[in-house]
Chains A and B, each alone.
Chain A
Amino acid sequence: MKRITTIMAATAALFATTGLARAEGELNIYNWGNYTSPEMIKKFEDQYKVKVTITDYDSNDTALAKVRQGGSGFDMVVPSQNYIPIWISEGLFLETDPGKMENFSHVAKEWQNPEFDPGRKYTVPWAMGIVGTVVNTDVYKGDINTWGIIFNTPDELKGKVNVVPEMTDVIDAAVLYNGGKKCTGDLAILKKVRDTLVAAKPNWVAMEYGTIQKMGSGDFAASSDWNGSAFRQRLANPAIKFGYPKEGYVNWSDNLAVLKDAKNVENAKLFQNFMMDPANAGMNSGFHRYANGIAGSGEFMPADMKGAPEIDIPAEFASVGVPSQTCPPEVQELYTKIWTELQK
């Protein structure tokens, strides 16, 4: 017994004394999981002799809560655009002025002066996408470019529909489906939204994230989903198509910013500039499978992404997209109540 105790203690001691080897330069990026191309990071590390550490988060709220409390040692973060005004107003970002950086000219026109960060004072585009529908067209032959797939499910799809449980995405979709505006506080519309959701729910089989696998395996025949995910599903099964709902859909983007309490500000700025280089942005897109807002990055993406109907928005649907934005707290509260009601 003594020996075992000794071994246990020795192992513990061994594990406890992990000396942190510190490289010359460092950069700590706090990002969504599975969202950063390791190849691209390697390139940055070699080019600037900086050791990059990536730490993952799984939601905007977690990232915000953690950074707000401070002390965690992150230099950069990649929040979604509807959270960026919150980060800015709470003074969590460092004003690095990417708009004046060398590579800024590569940023696509429509992303140069976004509403969430006027004049690009803080952020650099990382990835952007759409919340729409995916449908297995072997199962359902009708029109897939409508939220009706989710909210007024056709008979063929009943009991085979999944909804990705992102509260804001789901309720926004129902608002657009009912002819409302995103972040609406209009109670008449919201009442319809609640009724739509409650009536639609019995036709759903699940509310979960694992769409890539379950659409592929046939457990789901349709789902609400992101376009990058839809793209990967189509590569596995050509019958799975992405729908751009004609009632309107939300465009979102995630953007790279430097934190005010960053310890490695210079490296972080280098990385922001690095990300606006089409070659690097293209390499990153090849990994996360979304568009990136950098003009000319397409030629650095893998061949299968070129002209993909999920990545390049077809012209006929481009006009109905609405930008994702921060909803006022009182609207968020209404959303939460509807969501709780839906899932009670």
Chain B
Amino acid sequence: MARAFSIRRQRGFTAIAVACFFALYLPIGVLVFYSFNAGESLASFDGISLRWFAKAFQNQQVIDASIRSLQIASVAAVVATIAATMAALATTRTEPYRGLTLKYAFINQPLMIPEIVTAVALLIFFARIKIWTGYSGLGYLIAAHTAFCIPFAYLPIRARLENMDLTLEKAAADLYATPWNAFRYVTLPLLWPGILAGFMLAFVISLDDVVITEFVKSAGQDTLPTYMLGQIRRSITPEMNAISTLFLLLSIGVVTVFFIVNRKRV
């Protein structure tokens, strides 16, 4: 029997998508595999062992750096996503008004400067504030990360909004819904995929940042990427594979929790 014709089908798209997922996970698979390597090097596999996990767990510096990375990424991504959602609502679905283009360029500005430049400039800028206030906590890193995460969260949300028309919200307003309720029960659910996409992007971008963090961090504020950057001239130890495997596990854990929570919601 011939397969039912689906209007959604585009020839070859599924094949490309499957190949894409496969290619995405192939190196990750290799990485996970080697994190159980008993030997020192990536060049040869000398049997299964948990020694690199044990080593990673004994290395307080690595543990601290990992936790710090997750802290910064969580806070920065949440704040950036909220700010970006508001900004996206403010800059789409409107007749052009004065300053709109400028605002758009402004919001995307962190994207446009090479990281090293922002890093050096923030170093100079924050150092003054650090000396002046005496505060040298994680706030600076969070602020810096939030700023460069905003465009990454903003653009997907904006793209989503541009595809939404105002009819439903207008209908809600006609039914005397307060603006907040209209947003809460109409706009937000429709916007949700964009927000989720924006949040996930912001999170992984923050998790990956190295140059800006390297220049902004104070004493005892290494993140996982800066910790690894410090090793690059010497040699990256296999515990890093173990750490990456743990991060993957964690991400799978987060996804699972997300889905359990989501199930209940529905």
Contact = CB atoms under 8 A, between A and B. Distances in A.
Contact of B41 (A3, A16, A28, A217): A217
Nearest to B234: A34
A97 B173 CA distance: 76
Nearest to B40: A236
Contacts of B264: 3
B18 to A, nearest CB: 29
Contacts of B220: 28, 53, 55, 73
Contact of A11 (B74, B199, B218, B261): B74
Give the interface size class of chain B: 35 or more
Give the interface size class of chain A: 35 or more
A75 B137 CA distance: 16
Contacts of B231: 33-34, 56
Interface string B247-266: 00000000000100110110
B237 interface: yes
B227 A33 contact: yes
A18 B261 contact: no
Contacts, number: 134
Interface in B90-130: 120, 123-124, 126-130
B226 A8 contact: no
Given A4-B262, A55-B221, A62-B215, A209 B233 contact: yes
Given A73-B136, A209-B233, A213-B43, A9 B78 contact: yes
A229 B226 CA distance: 21
Contacts of B126: 71
Interface of A: 1, 3-4, 7-9, 11-12, 15-16, 18, 20, 28, 30, 32-35, 38, 53-58, 62, 65-66, 69-75, 209-210, 212-213, 216-218, 229, 232, 236, 288
Given A69-B123, A72-B127, 10 more contacts: A1-B188, A3-B261, A9-B78, A15-B70, A18-B138, A33-B227, A34-B235, A74-B219, A209-B233, A212-B235
7 contacts: A4-B258, A15-B74, A18-B71, A35-B234, A213-B43, A217-B41, A229-B234
Interface of B: 40-43, 59-61, 70-71, 74-75, 78-79, 120, 123-124, 126-131, 136-138, 142, 188-189, 192, 199, 214-215, 217-222, 226-237, 258, 261-262, 264-265
